[in-house]
């Protein structure tokens, strides 16, 4: 009989401590520099690849941890190290999840290794769904993929925006409209192989936080990819579209999932875990500072006003982690998200990171506001966690519609 336990296994603790060592020894010392440079920290990614931390094998091992805690544990430690570098290391994972969620076994085996490259020649990947006029509202997507039957090729045209690793990726996963009459049900995901003609990087964004992570537009002009680059394959797409068309005629019928939603559902708890890592890092700095900073003849933590803030910070971080772990455990053990538990975890963890990092800055006083201390960077980094992978408002919308029993869209 399965025993309930909240204790990590010895093996999980070993992995966690190993990642923590890399985060403390390699990421932390490099964090301020890459934040200032606003460039992809290739040397740090290479270091991670050398020790096997940036590799398909590592993520596969964590992904297949039967408790579901492998990925959130890894994310929390990496983002405790630094969020900008952390996202540069794990950004490829979003594209990999896109392939895992929608691809065939052959596609998974062919493309995911090319997303990571190897220790001597590291590569990154990008997942491109958002567009200038289609952020929260994915149904407004315009990028078109048209099938050229004579050549068994798909032709893609459009502009993607906000793509993490967009334009510098070896492999891009692009979500496009294949049937405009079906809204998000008429979307499909495509692999754009390395060196494909017609794909180019547009504007690279200068950001508030996570500045070591590359975010850019991706422009697709008559991009031709072979038929086998359609994730899941043509037969499965045709079946799915037929069901969606049927349902459009008969709204009471079986529901059809769309490709981008499948990716987001699977990745939300992992994103929540990243936010937990940032919040924990800022809390630890604030706790140390509060114990050593003396004002009015005593450490500032002796003031209840400061101590209670730390108590609330710690409580919220632990609560966020528990929501993340629950959602990851549910996803891994095949329990359906009946109350949008994935969205709950991302919502609460993202909001917690933003709040806790702001409190940490307050506890550090003037020092908290300077780049001499890391909490202002952590606060800038945390701010993205209520925006990307679905804003907090969209998470609330998903939770509200799920508990109300009405369709999400």
Ligand X SMILES: Cc1cc2nc3c(=O)[nH]c(=O)nc-3n(C[C@H](O)[C@H](O)[C@H](O)COP(=O)(O)OP(=O)(O)OC[C@H]3O[C@@H](n4cnc5c(N)ncnc54)[C@H](O)[C@@H]3O)c2cc1C
Q: Which residues here bind ligand X, judged by CB under 6 A? A: 94, 127-130, 135-136, 162-164, 207, 210, 215, 384, 387-391, 393-394, 397
Positive or negative, the Cα torsion across 325, 52, 277, 350? negative
Distance of closest approach, residue 394 Cβ to ligand X, in angstroms: 6
SS (H, E, C) 131-147: ECCECCCHHHCCCEEEE
Distance of closest approach, residue 397 Cβ to ligand X, in angstroms: 6
What does residue 41 show for φ and ψ, rounded to 5 degrees?
-80, 70
Q: Tokens for 110, please give them.
A: 């062919």
Q: Which is nearer to ligand X, 143 or 332 (CB)?
A: 143
Distance of closest approach, residue 130 Cβ to ligand X, in angstroms: 3
Q: Which is nearer to ligand X, 140 or 146 (CB)?
A: 140
Q: Which is nearer to ligand X, 2 or 406 (CB)?
A: 406
Q: Which is nearer to ligand X, 24 or 140 (CB)?
A: 140
Cβ proximity of 218 and 159 under 8 Å: yes
Residues with Cβ within 8 Å of 234's Cβ and at least 6 positions away in sequence, in order, are 147, 227
Q: Which long-range contacts (CB under 8 A, 24 or more apart) does 51-60 make?
A: 51/22, 53/19, 53/22, 53/89, 54/89, 54/116, 54/122, 55/116, 55/118, 55/119, 56/96, 56/112, 56/113, 56/115, 56/116, 59/93, 59/96
Q: Closest CB to ligand X belongs to which residue? A: 135
Which residue among the candidates 3, 265, 389, 393 is catalytic per the annotation?
Answer: 389
Residues with Cβ within 8 Å of 338's Cβ and at least 6 positions away in sequence, in order, are 402
The C-alpha atoms of residue 79 and residue 313 are separated, in whole angstroms, by: 17
Q: Which is nearer to ligand X, 103 or 390 (CB)?
A: 390
Distance of closest approach, residue 388 Cβ to ligand X, in angstroms: 4
Distance of closest approach, residue 348 Cβ to ligand X, in angstroms: 16
Q: Which is nearer to ligand X, 26 or 94 (CB)?
A: 94
The C-alpha atoms of residue 99 and residue 64 are separated, in whole angstroms, by: 16
Q: What string of DSSP letters covers 53-91? A: SSSHHHHHHHHT-TTS-HHHHHHHHHHHH-HHHHHHHHH
User: Which helix (H) or strand (E) segment is 107 a member of?
Assistant: helix 105-116
Distance of closest approach, residue 53 Cβ to ligand X, in angstroms: 21
Distance of closest approach, residue 257 Cβ to ligand X, in angstroms: 17
What does residue 172 show for φ and ψ, rounded to 5 degrees?
-110, 135
Active site residue 351: no
The C-alpha atoms of residue 178 and residue 187 are separated, in whole angstroms, by: 6
Q: Which is nearer to ligand X, 219 or 306 (CB)?
A: 219
The catalytic site residues sit at: 389
């Amino acid at each position: 009989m399965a025993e309930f336990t909240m204790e990590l296994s010895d093996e999980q603790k070993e992995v966690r401590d190993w990642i923590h060592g890399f985060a403390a020894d390699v990421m932390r010392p490099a964090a301020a520099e890459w934040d200032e440079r606003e460039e992809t920290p290739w040397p740090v990614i290479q270091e991670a690849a050398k020790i096997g931390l940036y590799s398909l094998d590592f993520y596969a091992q964590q992904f297949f941890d039967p408790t579901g805690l492998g990925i959130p544990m890894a994310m929390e430690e990496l983002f405790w190290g630094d969020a900008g570098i952390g996202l540069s290391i794990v950004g490829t994972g979003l594209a990999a999840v896109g392939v895992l969620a929608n691809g065939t076994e052959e596609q998974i085996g062919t493309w995911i290794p090319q997303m990571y490259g190897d220790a001597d020649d590291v590569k990154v990947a990008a997942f491109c769904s958002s567009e200038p006029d289609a952020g929260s509202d994915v149904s407004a997507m315009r990028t078109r993929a048209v099938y050229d039957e004579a050549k068994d090729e798909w032709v893609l045209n459009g502009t993607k925006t906000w793509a993490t690793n967009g334009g510098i990726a070896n492999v891009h996963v692009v979500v496009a409209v294949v049937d405009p009459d079906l809204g998000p049900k008429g979307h499909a995901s495509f692999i754009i192989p390395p060196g494909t003609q017609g794909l180019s990087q547009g504007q690279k964004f200068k950001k508030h936080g996570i500045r070591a992570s590359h975010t850019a537009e991706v422009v697709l002009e008559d991009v031709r990819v072979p038929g086998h680059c359609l994730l899941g394959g043509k037969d499965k797409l045709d079946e799915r579209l037929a069901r969606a068309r049927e349902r459009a005629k008969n709204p009471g019928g079986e529901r059809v999932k769309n490709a981008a939603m499948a990716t987001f559902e699977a990745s939300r708890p992992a994103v929540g875990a990243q936010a937990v890592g940032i919040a924990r890092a800022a809390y630890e700095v604030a706790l140390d500072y509060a114990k050593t900073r003396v004002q009015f003849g005593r450490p500032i933590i002796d003031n209840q006003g400061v101590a209670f803030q730390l108590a609330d910070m710690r409580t919220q971080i632990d609560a966020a982690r528990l929501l993340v772990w629950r959602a990851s455990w549910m996803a891994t053990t095949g329990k359906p998200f009946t109350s949008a538990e994935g969205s709950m975890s991302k919502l609460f963890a993202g909001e917690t990171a933003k709040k806790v990092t702001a409190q940490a800055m307050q506890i550090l006083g003037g020092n908290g506001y300077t780049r001499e201390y890391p909490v202002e960077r952590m606060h800038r980094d945390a701010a993205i966690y209520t925006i990307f992978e679905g804003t907090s408002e969209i998470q609330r919308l998903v939770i509200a519609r799920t508990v109300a029993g009405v369709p999400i869209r």
